[in-house]
Amino acid sequence: MKADFSLLRSDGSARLGRLTTRHGSVETPAFMPVATLGSVKGLTPEALRALGAQIMLSNLYHLALRPGIEVIEDVGGLHRFTGWDGPILTDSGGFQVFSLARLRTISEHGVSFRSPIDGEALEFSPESVVSFQERMGVDIAMMLDECPPHGATERQISTSLMRTNRWAARARAVWKGRGTLLFAIVQGGIFPALRQEAVETLAALDFPGYAIGGVSVGESLEHRRRVVEFTAPLLPRAKPRYLMGVGTPIDILHAVRHGVDLFDCVLPSRNARHGFLFTRGGPIRIKNARYRTDSRPVEDTCECPACSSVSRAFLHHLIRTKETTGAVLSTQHNIRFFLDFMRDLRKAIASGVMAEWADSFTAAYAVVNPDTTPTNPGSCGVS
């Protein structure tokens, strides 16, 4: 199955597109809420759909640990298991596996590791990772890649990249192409020559889509943006482009302006549970005392359940007392904010006013206030 990706319009390097999968179409640029174990924490599939989500992202590594691929397959696949009937992308879990340091062993065959839950010996290979995702019936599967740690030398990253590229060829060879799209992952650290080598190697294998991996793993903002600016234009123009694990609205805006189509990050849901809420005037920390008697909604223009029904004062109370309802309402707001943000990006590209819209959004979002630093802004791995 080839990716049915239509490039509908460009405004500068920003792209308006449509990615069609067997479970529906995704209008791009698009944000994928992270449902690591099959659900966004605190939200039902119906609630996620009502917020405007087109596609969600789950994680193969975590699903393989619990409940196990066999259970999901026996139930009828990941869509039936989770109750979500729209497109699903599954990350291969390479980042999580390689973060296990003392619990895993890397070889040319793949990665052997111990379950951090019960110590069971497990193995991921390029072939098994493709097979697992096909057995779950996901719409977009990610290949197994090696994700070098931040601070690795150019030589170490080059060695790792060559292995990742060999794994890509093996993954592509076993991919059946029957309803599940397989995306390649471009590694190469912060080194332009390695990124270019990766793109050339993977483009020759003709994957349905391409992802930029190995960012948001501890590098500086400047380095992260340079990687995006250099790599995105090199990727095949007719294929969807996915930036993994990024990030804040300003990071997403930067990447869209350089030609990226798909995004995911746990910031909306993770930060919501800590009372960090995104608004067009910049983030706010609802726990702060200034909101204790604030009768306004979180954001006047937002139509999420939180903004439509409760005040900042009530959310302040719920989050401060660790009431579950506070986390749910805050998550609904943040997810809706990100999805509305992407919708407005698409409208700006369609109207040919991307530069003006981006400048206006950035100016409003950059309002200086003490609430503007996200919790773990560079960590987007697990919800």
Dump pLDDT digits (tens) for 170-186. Answer: 999 999 999 999 999 99
Over residues 254-267, mean pLDDT: 97
DSSP class per residue in 262-290 = EEEESHHHHHHHTTEE--TT--EETTSGG
HSE on the CB side for 298, CA within 13 Å? 34
Non-local (6+) Cβ contacts of 34 within 8 A are 40, 56, 57, 264, 265, 266, 269, 380, 382, 383
3-state DSSP call for residue 141?
strand
Percent of the chain predicted with pLDDT > 90:
84
Q: Rounded mean pLDDT of the chain?
A: 93
Give the per-residue pLDDT at 219: 84
**Residue 342: what are its φ and ψ, rounded to 5°?**
-70, -40
3-state DSSP call for residue 89?
strand
pLDDT-derived band at 320 (thresholds 50, 70, 90) equals very high
What CATH code is assigned to 4-265? 3.20.20.105
Over residues 325-345, mean pLDDT: 98
Cα 132 to Cα 69, 117, 196, 249, 382, distances in angstroms = 7, 20, 29, 32, 20
Model confidence pTM above 0.75: yes
Over residues 63-69, mean pLDDT: 95
3-state DSSP call for residue 348?
helix
Which residues make beta-bridge pairs with 182?
141
Residue 366 has pLDDT above 80, yes or no: no
Give the per-residue pLDDT at 379: 45
What residue spans define the domains of the chain? 4-265, 272-365
CA–CA dist 125, 121 (Å, integer): 14
Cα 151 to Cα 77, 180, 191, 193, 220, distances in angstroms = 39, 34, 12, 17, 11
Tens digit of pLDDT for each residue in 88-138?
A: 999 997 777 666 656 678 899 998 888 888 888 889 999 999 999 999 999
pLDDT-derived band at 378 (thresholds 50, 70, 90) equals very low
CA–CA dist 168, 292 (Å, integer): 53
| Under 8 Å between Cβ of 240 and 262 | yes
| Under 8 Å between Cβ of 102 and 44 | no
Helix axes 192-204, 154-174, angle to 10 degrees: 10
CA–CA dist 50, 326 (Å, integer): 18
Q: Kindly provide the b/e burial profile for residues 28-41, where b requires at least 16 CB atoms within 10 angstroms of the residue's own CB.
A: bbbbbbbbbbbbbb
Over residues 48-74, mean pLDDT: 97
Give the per-residue pLDDT at 106: 86
Longest dimension (CA), the chain: 61
Tens digit of pLDDT for each residue in 5-21?
A: 999 999 999 999 999 99
Burial (CB count <10 Å: 0-12, 13-18, 19+), residue 121:
exposed
Tokens at residue 161, please? 């990249």
Sheet harboring 30-33: ordered strands across? 30-33, 262-265, 241-243, 209-212, 181-186, 140-142, 88-91, 56-59
Over residues 319-345, mean pLDDT: 98
Residues that are catalytic: 91, 264
Tokens at residue 262, please? 């798909």
User: Which of 180-184, 220-224, 287-291, 348-352 has the lowest average pLDDT?
Assistant: 220-224
Tens digit of pLDDT for each residue in 182-220?
A: 999 999 999 999 999 999 999 999 999 999 999 978 888
